Structure 1
């Protein structure tokens, strides 16, 4: 049974769209990006080598994951865990802390920020599962979305569920609208469904930048292309080392030809005018290594990172200090923070809706609001320099000892916890002084 007159047409439209060639290409591209990020590059490398070499099976395969490194360095919004605070009635604060812990909110949002840098568009979905609230991060390879007059006017979401056994006849789809949800089989026939219990789409779109003409944000192809170029160059390097990295002995003037079994302690009798020698290879090892290094640095620079972020020199500056102070990257992070602060507020509203539906006796109040304070990453400093900085800020009245102890011990989640810790330290110090007297 369908729950709205336009239901059959919507199902047919969404199902056809999921199979449309452009959507298939988009999903394959997203799946490839995720493979590259998660070190699943071997199969893709083998496909490239099969096009370039007559006998690719004889080549030594090798890749270095620059996609993951670039994405993780660019996704800096959640480099440090943000401080989330809820303003509402007395019970809201403790209830939201419980929800955030159940959903592993900080971990999931950090993963989401990386997937958005990689795929440019994702969805966050609060879901009630096994008696608790969870948060799913959905990537474009399993998504189809219908929008209205603007990319942010989402009217329907189709989620593809692939079985672990890979059988196409066991693929299912979940179709959501603000009014209904439906489960579809691999042919597009409805097998389950009902009214949408939340009254809104339980999804929050996450974009790498504000969408303009399309729900799916373009970009990022350069990183994938550069990764494939580096992988091919690494295979070329190993091939060159294997076939041109060693000298080849030769004999001139001997009759017949063939291979001589020679080595230390052996004497070879040569004919008159005969010669014995070793041909030195002219392998372009340095050129290939230099080309790989240059490709990786170009990839970093084109993504707003310093070239030194791809350096393997252990004497280079630390990874954090390569990023902190980079004007281009800091500006990009400020733009990201503005987006993700908005995403956090939207997600809070959907989390509240899903939670309240399944917990009618323990609801987050409608008056509850969320504030998110994103931390600024700082370069590594010595204990002495950090203490001097805190002393200066304390003397200027810009921070309190609570701020210093929370920065020193991130496990102190609230200011109340930090204050209690400072009181404990004060009392213990006073007790020790009394015992010394």
Structure 2
């Protein structure tokens, strides 16, 4: 029978191997998102291929991930108190990136902090090691590699690790030794790191990332590289000769060169390639379309043409994605509440009090309307007091920034327009429209 120590060491080695494999997977996903894919494509070819044609580097991973990330596309309205809006100037940008990276990597960590200017900052953590208590889905502590300025040639610091739990922050060196001067008792009472996932967790903490998109992208790059190499040497056929002296050198063939065959029995010909270029291109399209459909996306190729789809047709085509959007909103509402709890603790430590609960309003993505439909929609909202003139002005000119500035701009325009209407003897906007008698005289 195996000893307890042997079983313990085996399980520990297995867990460490899984963490290492996940780190490699995250590195690959980040490389594909940033178009750094040559090293993965080159694994399928020998070294001579790189001298024959460039490795294909087509990146649809980033486009797919960006299209899938819709929660923060139109923005979020947050209400956490009078001072809160001035403290989250960077939050919209950070949360957009957090959603994209969660869809790419499956699971991400977010570390909020409060700067000296009383503005929250948000650090994305891509690779980390979670530690658990009794709940296997919710960590009680986390360790993560501290990012180093790798672009600075003068920096020679070794990789270190940061550690957070609900009471302290520590730094470790690469050998696991604690750097004592870095130990801080943060006193927040909660783990100040939030974990976001692409989907709901199943039977483990980590959620699978966009591996299907990465695999399809890799296959496309390999196929397109093969097409590039094949087209260089086989697009116009492979020349061949028989019955000639193998030791004799011949000029490179071309439209301005003539090859003289001395032996009357010698032959020259060009063998057509067996591959079908169009079939290979169709295969690439099929792979891209299949992975797009699996992620509730649709693709229109440039040669398809056709009419520009209307807003309602886009909504019908986007129905499955809309269902995903509704489900994901509830998930990200939970994450927003968890982030707000950390923000409250950070603000309280600096003497700033925020509201007990965070008010959230996720703005749904809008579909394009025709000019006539937009006019009818705007008039409908104004008549039912669903929106004010100032809010509508801000909608069309977000650079105004605030409702107060938008209201001031609207009043100024209204004053000018009313003055012009008086000169032209036209009814004002606020006046009721004149009645029109549509009866036809008999």
TM-score range, shorter chain: 0.7 to 0.9
- State whether residues 305 and 323 of structure 1, in contact with CA within 8 Å, keep that contact through their aligned partners in structure 2: no
SS in structure 1 at match of 2:88: helix
> Residue 440 of structure 2 aligns with which residue?
none
1:249 Cα offset (Å): 5.5
Distance 1:416 1:275, change over 3 A: same
> Residue 83 of structure 1 aligns with which residue?
77
> Residue 107 of structure 2 aligns with which residue?
121
> Residue 326 of structure 2 aligns with which residue?
334
> How many residues end up aligned between the 2 structures?
405
> Which of 33, 36, 61 is the matching residue for 1:67?
61
Within-5 A mapping of 1:14-413: 20-46=16-42, 48-49=43-44, 52-53=45-46, 55-58=48-51, 59-86=53-80, 92-93=81-82, 95-101=83-89, 104-129=90-115, 131-141=117-127, 143-165=128-150, 170-191=158-179, 192-247=182-237, 259-260=250-251, 279-308=271-300, 311-313=301-303, 315=305, 324-325=315-316, 326-358=318-350, 360=351, 363-365=352-354, 367-413=355-401
SS in structure 2 at match of 1:200: coil
1:350 Cα offset (Å): 1.4
Measured against aligned partners, the alpha-carbon deviations of 1:57-115 in whole angstroms (never above 9, x if no partner) come to: 334201211211111111111111222233xxxxx32x1121111xx111110011101
Distance 1:348 1:428, change over 3 A: farther
1:215 Cα offset (Å): 1.9
- State whether residues 33 and 118 of structure 1, in contact with CA within 8 Å, keep that contact through their aligned partners in structure 2: yes
SS in structure 1 at match of 2:196: strand
Of the structure 1 ranges 422-431 and 282-291, higher mean CA displacement relative to structure 2 is found in 422-431
Distance 1:107 1:39, change over 3 A: same
CA distance in 2, matches of 1:99, 1:338: 24
Distance 1:298 1:263, change over 3 A: closer
CA distance in 2, matches of 1:413, 1:264: 66
CA distance in 2, matches of 1:413, 1:151: 44
TM-score (norm 2): 0.80
Distance 1:336 1:272, change over 3 A: same
Distance 1:216 1:323, change over 3 A: farther
- State whether residues 240 and 271 of structure 2, in contact with CA within 8 Å, keep that contact through their aligned partners in structure 1: yes
- State whether residues 126 and 133 of structure 1, in contact with CA within 8 Å, keep that contact through their aligned partners in structure 2: no
CA distance in 2, matches of 1:253, 1:295: 46
Distance 1:120 1:254, change over 3 A: closer
1:163 Cα offset (Å): 3.1
- State whether residues 310 and 369 of structure 2, in contact with CA within 8 Å, keep that contact through their aligned partners in structure 1: no
1:153 Cα offset (Å): 3.4
- State whether residues 104 and 209 of structure 2, in contact with CA within 8 Å, keep that contact through their aligned partners in structure 1: no
Distance 1:193 1:323, change over 3 A: farther
Measured against aligned partners, the alpha-carbon deviations of 1:307-337 in whole angstroms (never above 9, x if no partner) come to: 43xx344736779969643121111011111
What is the root-mean-square deviation in Å for CA atoms of aligned residues?
3.4
- State whether residues 168 and 183 of structure 2, in contact with CA within 8 Å, keep that contact through their aligned partners in structure 1: yes
Distance 1:54 1:319, change over 3 A: farther
TM-score (norm 1): 0.81
